[in-house]
Chain A
Amino acid sequence: MSQTDFVRKLPDAQSEKPTNTFWQSIHIDPTLLALVLITLAFGLVVLYSASDGQFSFLKRQVMMAGAGLVAMIIVAQIPPSVMQRWVWLPYAGGLLLLVAVIFFGLEVNGAQRWLDLGPIAFQPSEILKLSLPLLLAAYLGKRHMPPRFKHVFMSLLMIALPAGLVVVQPDLGTSLLVAGSGLAVLFTAGLKWRYMLAALILVIISAPLMWQFGLHDYQRERIITMFNPEADRLGAGWNIIQSVTAIGSGGWSGKGWLLGTQSHLDFLPESHTDFIIAVLAEEFGFRGVCILLSLYLLIIGRGFWISYTAKSPFSRLASAAVVVTFFVYVSVNMAMVSGLLPVVGVPLPLVSYGGTSLISLFMMFGILMAISTEPGTLKS
């Protein structure tokens, strides 16, 4: 990070001293870009090992990262005010596709989450992960803060529509992530504490009912497994036992790159996708985990800085929502693989193999960059 980045974005910077005009003119935040590329490179090293040295995975991941970079640059060129005006479009489109999934979706493992569009199949819920917080930022950014009851109600409706459509697929994990990113915007917009307290009480009261009637058997099983993986060593508990063993056996310095026995002898499931942190922890040890955590912390820190210095309420809320979403991915994934949370399908940002998540991540960074390079001073 260069000194000038900080100087330029002091929160009360009323000075219109135009610095870094080159980066600003192409709407790229070099600090964020550097951090993302370093993390991505580290991720590729781990992915190469996790995929047993198969170049095809690496090649595909690099290609997807390239596509992601292009998408990021494109998104970064969109002025935040345009985003604010048009974000309802992807939101509405995403909702339509979610409805389409109910009727035309591919059924995989008993859940309809995928939409088959000829050559590519993707999950429409990905669109909502991004467009819902932006829509809320756009909606709340134009209104009084803290939001009034009517606006809170409208916001909850905007959250409930996609979350509800996703939960019937069924995909509880994604549904919670979508809802969480929306609620994060509400929180940032200054939601009154008494509303939050009321919501908390409501959740506590309804939790037993949800457990009994709201969850599928496999979802209950996953939660039970998290608390007692030994109960079903070769069944549902297998993944967690093996991933925790992989992490723990890495020690301080790890077993060495390509030398992880848990992953290379196939004990570790999904080692190149959701459970890739276990490969990293096994081969690079606690040292490696700390390095990755530091990189994530820097990215998140940079994100908060962008949000802190953003020029409009929409920009602040939108960038905060993006940062929180990124943070939730990191922490949910790392907690799940180390046995602190039930297994939900959340990839580890910039490290896990997977084109869809990589591209949407880069689009998130594009939004942050568009906001960070927005010209002008704070305005409402």
Chain B
Amino acid sequence: MREDSLFRDEQYESRLILGRLQILAFVVMVVLAMLALRYHYLQIEQFDRFVTQSDENRIHVRAVPPTRGLVFDRNGIVLAENRPSYTLTIVPENTDGLDQLLDKLANVVAISDIDLQRFQEQLETYRRPYEPVPFRYNLDEQEVARFAVQQFDLVGADIQVELIRHYPLGEYFAHVVGYVGRINDREQASIDLEAYAGSHVIGKTGIERQYETELLGVVGYEYVETDARGNVLRILERHHPIPGQNIHLNLDSELQIAIQDQLVGEQAAAVAIDTNNSGVLALVSTPSFDPNLFVSGISTREYSALLENPAKPLFNRALQGQYPPGSTVKPMFGLIALQEQSITPEFTLFDPGYYILEGQDRVSRDWKSQGHGTVDLTKAIVESCNVFYYELGHRTGIESLSDYGLRFGLGHKTGIDLPGEQSGVMPSPNWKRGARGVAWYPGDTINVGVGQGFLLVTPLQLAQTTAVIARKGSVIPPSLVSAIGDQPVLSIVSDQIEIAEEHWALVHGAMRDVVHTTHGTAQSINRGIDNYEIAGKTGTAQAISVAEDVDYDDLELEKHQRDHALFVAFAPADNPQFSVGVIVENGEHGGSMAAPIARVIFDKLLESYVPEPVKNGGANVPN
């Protein structure tokens, strides 16, 4: 003990220490009371908030996507189906480091720059926490096996079996059935996010888009308990999804395939319609593309190849191609002239090979420079005499041609159940003032009379107006879908064009003669038919304009400048069941290029047709 402690005041020191101990004890009480208050605050006052938070932690609502409806043709052949596909997904929240995981994955599965780019884009766009982000689609068996072996080292990555859309007939139906693709930002903004929870794709074109709501189905939910790493421990509650409805089409896939195979290498379109109900049996646009490319995201390279292809494979010519109809409008204009009494069935004129409108110096030529001689309406249709139709148009007047033309289905959308249809142009003085800002000239009517000038139609409209003629004036909008689920879609007559029966008979007869007489412009296709007759009309449409004084026929033209070949027809001629419209771009002559396609179509459809002695007999339509 040290010296100075000899003088220590023990009483004082003891009091000092005991005083300090009391202060410490007081501090302890205060601090422990504060801790008790803190826990009271959290556990009693804020209980509701934290109990909710802890439930949100462990209970996740998981969307269960519905199975998308299938698409069938009229014979039950699948055109769009769902196939299981192995998709490698990543939950970024669960990884120990995204970059390291991607490096490791590169040794397990093949990863392209496109995959990486697409993955980055999806990371940056909207997504729910702990939602798996797809990284690689369509893993093959080997990759799945390699992943399974390495999985312990690939925390955060998983393989999901997903149903993805598949189009077994590929490019044959790309322009009709369309395709689904990943939901893009624009669609993201407009769709009901709830309905698409769990779905990655949406119908982009064709039937897939038109009937998106029906095909999609109703999303299901399950409440799952997960641990902190997002592993699902158990399902607490489940609301099953309702699968999308199957769509049954009027299409006949065999016919569709046969037509497309006939048109290989051409830029062409063909539409076949069942005249009984305007059901679309075939809708072909060539060239086409493989819709399966779009399902899981098409690469930029493949997409730009499709876009830059001069033949425009993505362009649906049947719905969106607008062409001058040429002489294919002659039967319709003949009917209009007869009904309006601007000509009579007995009316004739002499065709010298050219036509000069009264009081004007403009010369309009016939395609046959020496002329057709004395011509009546039947001969004008059979031989496709232009001079007769210049006069017919002049006599009938644009107002009547336009009014009736609209009712036959020109100049407006047919109302087919596909998106993106073009309306074509049925010109009139009003239209010209509105669209071009100039007055209508008599010469304009002359051009319209032979299907040139401002008149533009789509291949679908060609088939549709021909169906209206075949049905003698009853208008039924064309339809692709025959049934949604087990609910049939009924066709309705939207208009009835009143034209005297003898006029229909005359024009139907003239159209039959186009194919079945020696002077007919489509006589080349009549060989070998024994059980039915075709009623048709050829057409040739100028692809480019030529100065009036140049003899058009003498021009040596590049392929892409050549005339478009057109053909419309229905069959059997005496008991119409089917109508077709065909256009072959730069095919030059309707009779030689387009008509044979119609023959193929009718042969296929009427293979087992037995001609009936009585007209207007029962339909002999498959199904």
Please give the residue numbers on chain A whose beta carbons come within 8 Å of chain B beta carbons, in ascending order: 11, 142-146, 184, 187-190, 234, 242, 244-252, 261-262, 265-267, 281, 285-286, 289-290, 293, 296-297, 300-301, 304, 307-308, 313, 316-317, 320, 323-324, 327, 330-331, 334-335, 338, 340, 378, 380
Contacts and interface: CB of A to CB of B under 8 A. Distances in A.
Nearest to B4: A144
A281 B57 CA distance: 17
24 contacts: A11-B18, A142-B1, A143-B5, A144-B8, A188-B20, A189-B20, A242-B57, A247-B39, A247-B43, A247-B50, A248-B46, A248-B47, A249-B51, A265-B225, A265-B226, A281-B42, A286-B39, A286-B43, A301-B25, A304-B25, A327-B31, A330-B32, A334-B39, A378-B14
Interface in B1-16: 1-2, 4-5, 8, 10, 13-14, 16
A324 B8 CA distance: 26
A244 B13 contact: no
A304 to B, nearest CB: 5
Contacts of B57: 242, 245, 261-262, 265, 267
A267 B514 CA distance: 83
A249 B50 contact: yes
A127 to B, nearest CB: 24
Interface residues of B, number: 44
Given A265-B227, A335-B38, A248 B43 contact: yes
A264 B106 CA distance: 34
A304 B24 contact: yes
Decide if the interface of chain A is mainly helix, strand, loop or mixed: helix
Contacts of B227: 265-267
Contact of A249 (B19, B36, B47, B226): B47
A308 B25 CA distance: 11
B54 A190 contact: no
B228 interface: yes
A146 B93 CA distance: 58
B432 interface: no
Closest 10 CB pairs of A and B: A248-B50, A249-B54, A266-B228, A190-B16, A286-B43, A265-B227, A248-B42, A249-B50, A249-B51, A267-B228
B13 A187 contact: no
B40 interface: yes
Contacts of A245: 50, 53-54, 57
B436 interface: no
A330 B226 CA distance: 33
Given A265-B228, A290-B36, 13 more contacts: A187-B24, A188-B17, A245-B54, A249-B54, A252-B44, A261-B57, A289-B43, A297-B32, A304-B21, A304-B25, A331-B32, A380-B8, A380-B13
B104 interface: no
B21 A380 contact: no
A286 B13 CA distance: 42
A143 B13 CA distance: 10
B614 interface: no
Contacts, number: 146
Contacts of B228: 265-267
B21 A262 contact: no
Contact of A265 (B8, B14, B32, B58): B58
Contacts of A189: 17, 20
Nearest to A301: B25
A316 B54 contact: no
B229 interface: yes
B270 to A, nearest CB: 59
B35 interface: yes
A311 to B, nearest CB: 11
B93 A248 contact: no
B621 interface: no
B28 A300 contact: yes
Contact of B16 (A146, A281, A297): A146
B301 interface: no
Interface string B257-273: 00000000000000000
A145 B16 contact: yes
Contact of B54 (A146, A188, A246, A313): A246
A88 to B, nearest CB: 15
B25 A338 contact: no
A301 B31 CA distance: 14
B233 interface: yes
A320 B25 CA distance: 10
B233 A265 contact: yes
B229 A244 contact: no
A85 B422 CA distance: 105
B49 interface: yes
Contacts of A308: 18, 21
A331 B13 CA distance: 29
Interface in B50-75: 50-51, 53-55, 57-58
Given A262-B57, A266-B229, A307 B21 contact: yes
Contacts of B42: 244, 247-248, 281, 338
A187 B43 CA distance: 35
Contacts of A251: 43-44, 47, 51
Contacts of B14: 378
A142 B17 contact: no
Contacts of B46: 248
A330 B18 CA distance: 23
B28 A313 contact: no
B13 A313 contact: yes
A230 to B, nearest CB: 12
Contact of A331 (B18, B21, B35): B35
Contact of B10 (A143, A250, A380): A380
A330 B39 CA distance: 14
Contacts of A262: 54, 57-58
Interface string B512-523: 000000000000
A293 to B, nearest CB: 6
Nearest to B54: A249
A308 B51 CA distance: 44
B35 A335 contact: yes
Contacts of B25: 301, 304
